[in-house]
Amino acid sequence: MNYTLAELHCHTREVSGCAKVYAPDAIKHFHENGYDLVCLTNHYKRGIFRRHYENGEPYIDSLEVFLNAYRTAKEVGDSLGVTVLLAAEITFDSCYNDYLVYGLTEEQFYKYPKLHEMTVEQFSHFARQNGLFFAQAHPFRNENTIRTDPSLIDGCEIINSYENEDTQSIEWARENDLIPLCGQDYHRYVDMRGFKTAFHGEVRDIDTLKQKLFNREYSIIFDPKKQINTDKDNF
């Protein structure tokens, strides 16, 4: 079987102030480490749009910065044979938690501004109306993180570079039939730990990625000697 080796949680300096690596260098780094696909999940929250809220600058200006990071990454990815897909890590105004969202298009970001002003419940409804994959990132990161009502989300992150293999998140996913995700939460070169999502078959577009996530058509590679099956019978 052919596999597409993917990174599902990546930040770049252009948008995410906490990141240290710019989009072109990040994509080159993933290419050098054997990845076929990168989902760019830059932060999407009130702080990213602070020039709009604090200085009255057009909202669209900050949104363009967010989208241009993806466009730049995609251009570099195209030149290297790495698929780069647009995604986001959303933090809602009403909640400290972070959420990974796969499936929003550039057109939808323009059409539905200020998504971070929604509540989790409102966005969950929006996600299901629009066929998005909606998951809680690092659900046990610290004392401020609250586990979301599982009925509102599709999955949760069980592995990243900060928590490594998160036993609490794995158990929570199993107990609540949540689809498990692996993402390095890449911000710096040192976050490259080699964790990969190995999709079964070719993934070159966001619709295929969503389908394979919903159908659990992938394995998680934690290290060269350990893989985690994600299908319901073996997870």
Domain 3-229 belongs to what architecture? Alpha-Beta Barrel (3.20)
Helices within the chain (DSSP H only): 23-32, 50-55, 59-80, 106-111, 120-129, 167-175, 206-214
Please report the pLDDT score of residue 31 as a whole number: 98
Dump pLDDT digits (tens) for 158-192. Answer: 988 876 557 889 999 999 999 999 999 999 999 99
- Residue 53: strand, helix, or coil: helix
H or E element that contains 41: none
3-state SS record for 130-158: CCCEEEECCCCCCCCCCCCCHHHCCEEEE
- Residue 202: strand, helix, or coil: coil
pTM of the entire structure?
0.94
Per-residue confidence band for 225, with pLDDT thresholds at 50, 70 and 90: low
Dump pLDDT digits (tens) for 77-134. Answer: 999 999 999 999 999 999 999 999 999 999 999 999 999 999 999 999 999 999 999 9
Q: Which two tokens stand for residue 40?
A: 């760019």
Q: What angle do CA 133, 49, 30 make, to 5 degrees?
A: 55
The arithmetic mean of pLDDT across residues 16-21, rounded, is: 89
- Domains of the chain, residue spans: 3-229
